Structure 1
Amino acid sequence: MNLDTLMYYRQIIENKSISKVANQSHISQSALSQMMQKFEDSLGYELMERSNRGVVPTELGKIVYKYSENIMNTYSKMLEEIDNYAKKSSSVRISATKSLVTYSMPCVLFRIKKVHPDHQYDLVTSELDRIIADVQNDISDFGVITSLPTKWVEGLEIVKIAEEQIVLVASETYSIPNEIMMDELFEYDLIMQSNSEHLYDELYRKISENGMDRELLKVLFKIDSIGAVKNALFNSYGIAMLPYPTVKRELYSKAYKKIQITDLALHYNIYLVHKPLEHLSATSRESIKTFKKLGNKAFC
C-alpha cells in the first residue's frame, strides 16, 4: 500500500471532495480518481460513496480511515527518528494529560534538562487512551498519566513516579472556615472537574467508609477545564478540589485560600508509562532513568 495514496484518501474523506483535494495537491482529478480506484481494488472493497453531501466513507472506509491515522503517525515518527539519527539529534517525545502539561511537566523537563542539556523534548497533551496508544505505537517515547488504564496493557511498563497533593480551595471572599471536618463538605457548593475522576476517588472512598452518601454532595456543576473551575472560584461560586500545582500561584497571591479538612488528606498518583527500556533509544532511556531517580523532587 502506497502511503501517499492513504494520505490522499484521508484528505478526500476530510474534505468530502476528490476535486478539492486534487486542486490542493496540484494533480488532475482523473489521476486522483484512478489512484483511489486502484486503492479500492487492492483491498477488494468499496471505500467511498458519492452523495449529495459529497464523498463519504462506506462502513469499511470508516475502518480504513480510523487505522490510517496511526499508520501515518507511525510513518512520520519513523521519518523523524531517521532524521534525528542522521543529524545526531537527541529528541524525546512525551505525551501527558492536559493538567500535567500545563502545570507540572514544564518543571519536570526543566530539571531533567539540567541533567541532559543536549536532549531535546517535545511535550504534547493527550487523553489517557491516546497516551497509551501513542506509547504502544512508538508515536511517543513515554507518557505521564494520572490514572491507571482500566485493563492491563501488554508490552508496556507502568510505574508510579510521584504523588500530588489535592487541596480544597475557595476564593478569599468565600464564606467558609479555614478548617472543616469531612462531613461539613456536604454544606457547601462544590465545583468539580468532569474529566478528572482521579481527583475524587479517595474522597469517595473515605465518604463510603464513614457511612455517608456521596450523592448528597452539593455539586453545583461539573466542568471539563481547570481554567473554567478556577474562574468559577474567582467568582465565589463555591469550593473545589484541585491539584496543588494548579492553584499554587493563586494561594501564594492570596486570591484563593486553602481549607484544611482535619480528618482527610487527599492525593493522587502520577505514573510513568513506557516500553521496556531495551526497546527505547539511548536518549529516552537516560531521560526515563533520570525522571525515576528524581521522583517527587522532579515536580515543583
Structure 2
Amino acid sequence: MNLNTYRYFNEVAETRSIRRAADRLHVAPSAISRQIAILEQSLGTLLLERTNTGIQLTSAGLVLERFTRHMFRDMERVQESIRNLKGLRLGEVKIWVIEGLILDFLPRTIADFNEQFPAIKFSVYSESSDRIAEALSRDEADIGIVYNPRGRPGIEIVAQYSEPVMCMVNPTHDFAGRESLSLAEICSQQIALPITSFGLRQLFDQAITRQKLNPDVLVSTNNLELTKAMAITGKTIAIAPAMAARKELSDGRLRAIPIQEGEFVDATSAVCVHRDRQLSYAANEFLKRLVKTFQAATKASTRLT
C-alpha cells in the first residue's frame, strides 16, 4: 500500500467529498475512488458510506481517519525539522483563537515574529473555546487561545492573562454613568451574547444559574462583533473584556462598566497546546513569543474603561 492511497483517503475524510478531495490533490475522482476501493479490500472492511447528504465515515473509517490525520501532521513536522537542519527557517503555524483576541495583540505578535522569521507562514482561525479545544485534541491546531479555560483532557495551559469582563453599553444608556453593575441589573436589560460554545457565554450562564436569574437575551450569536454592534445601537447591552472592545472604547462608541461578581473580575484568557504532542520548530518559536506577550500584558494590566 503506497502513501498516496492513505493521502487520498485522508483528503476524502477531511472534505467528505471525493470530488473536492480530487480538486485539492489535482487528480481525477476516479483515481481516488479506485485507491480507496483497494484500501477497503486490503483492510477487509468498508471505510466510506455514501448518503444523500454526502460521504460519511464508517466506524473503521473513523479509526483510520484519526491515524492518517496524525500521520500526515507528523510528516509535516519531520519535513520542517529536516529543512531547519539545512538552515532554512520555513514552516507554518496553525493558531485557533477566540474572536476577542484576533483583532488585538495577535496581529502585532505575528508582525513582530515575521521580522525575525520572514519565511514562516500562519493559518489563523477564529472559533469558540470549545471548538478550539477540539482542534487541539484533533491535531488541527498547533496553538489555541481560549477564554475561561477549564480542565480538558490532554490540554496544557502554558500562559494566562486575566482581565475583567465588563458590561458594554452605549454612552447614552442609563447604565453609562454607573461605577459598577450587579448581574441582576444586567439581566434586567435586553442583552446580546455569544452562543453557548463560547467561554464568555459559559462564564455568564454559570453565574446566572447560581443566582437563579433569567436574562432577556435578544441576540445570541457566534460573532462577538455583532454583540458589540448591538450594544452600540443602544438597543441592548453586551459583555466582553475591555481588550475585545479596545477600538470601540477608544473612539467613544461604547463604555465599559465593571461587573461586581467575582468570577467576572477574575476572567482569564489562556494559551494552550496539546500536552502529548511535540510542536514544530516554527510553532514552538512562536509559542515562546506568545507567552512573553501574555506575560507582558499581565504585568502591564492595562485596562480601558
TM beyond 0.5: yes
In 2, are the aligned partners of 1:159 and 1:271 still within 8 Å (CA)? yes
- Cα shift at 1:3: 3.3
Residue correspondence of structure 1 range 219-298 to structure 2 within 5 A = 219-261=217-259, 266-274=265-273, 279-280=278-279, 284-298=283-297
Partner of 1:8: 8
Partner of 2:199: 198
- Cα shift at 1:48: 4.0
1:106 aligns with 2:107: yes
Query: Aligned partner of 2:238: which letter?
Result: A
> Over aligned residues, Cα RMSD in angstroms?
4.2
In 1, are the aligned partners of 2:104 and 2:244 still within 8 Å (CA)? yes
Could you tell me which runs of 5 or more consecutive residues in structure 2 were left unpaired when the two chains were aligned. Answer: none
Partner of 1:213: 212
1:252-300 CA-to-partner distances (Å, cap 9, x unmatched) read 1111122344676634212222367995566655544454445342487
Partner of 1:124: 124
Question: Structure 1: how far apart are the matches of 2:285 and 2:208?
Answer: 42
- Cα shift at 1:223: 1.3
Question: Structure 2: how far apart are the matches of 1:28 and 1:208?
Answer: 52
Structure exhibiting the larger radius of gyration computed from Cα positions = 1
In 1, are the aligned partners of 2:169 and 2:231 still within 8 Å (CA)? yes
Question: Structure 2: how far apart are the matches of 1:286 and 1:271?
Answer: 17
Query: Aligned partner of 1:243: which letter?
Result: P
Say if 1:249 and 1:243 are closer, same or farther in 2 by CA, change over 3 A: same
Residue correspondence of structure 1 range 19-168 to structure 2 within 5 A = 21=22, 25-26=26-27, 29=30, 33-48=33-48, 56-57=55-56, 59-60=58-59, 62-63=61-62, 66-67=65-66, 68-86=68-86, 88-89=88-89, 91=91, 93-99=93-99, 100-110=101-111, 113=113, 117-118=116-117, 120=120, 122-125=122-125, 126-128=127-129, 131-132=132-133, 135=136, 140-153=141-154, 157-168=156-167
1:68-97 CA-to-partner distances (Å, cap 9, x unmatched) read 444444444444444455452064625232
Q: SS of 2:117's equivalent? A: coil
Query: Aligned partner of 1:178: which letter?
Result: G
- Cα shift at 1:249: 1.0
Q: SS of 1:158's equivalent? A: strand
In 1, are the aligned partners of 2:157 and 2:271 still within 8 Å (CA)? yes
Question: Structure 1: how far apart are the matches of 2:288 and 2:18?
Answer: 49
Query: Aligned partner of 2:171: which letter?
Result: E
In 2, are the aligned partners of 1:16 and 1:56 still within 8 Å (CA)? yes
Question: Structure 1: how far apart are the matches of 2:37 and 2:209?
Answer: 60
Q: TM-score, normalised by structure 2?
A: 0.72
In 2, are the aligned partners of 1:277 and 1:285 still within 8 Å (CA)? no
Query: Aligned partner of 1:147: which letter?
Result: N
Could you tell me which runs of 5 or more consecutive residues in structure 1 were left unpaired when the two chains were aligned. Answer: none
Say if 1:121 and 1:277 are closer, same or farther in 2 by CA, change over 3 A: farther
In 2, are the aligned partners of 1:97 and 1:146 still within 8 Å (CA)? no
Aligned length: 289
- Cα shift at 1:161: 2.2
Q: TM-score, normalised by structure 1?
A: 0.73
Query: Aligned partner of 1:88: which letter?
Result: L
Q: SS of 1:162's equivalent? A: strand
Q: SS of 2:152's equivalent? A: coil
Structure 1 segments (4+ residues) deviating >6 Å: none
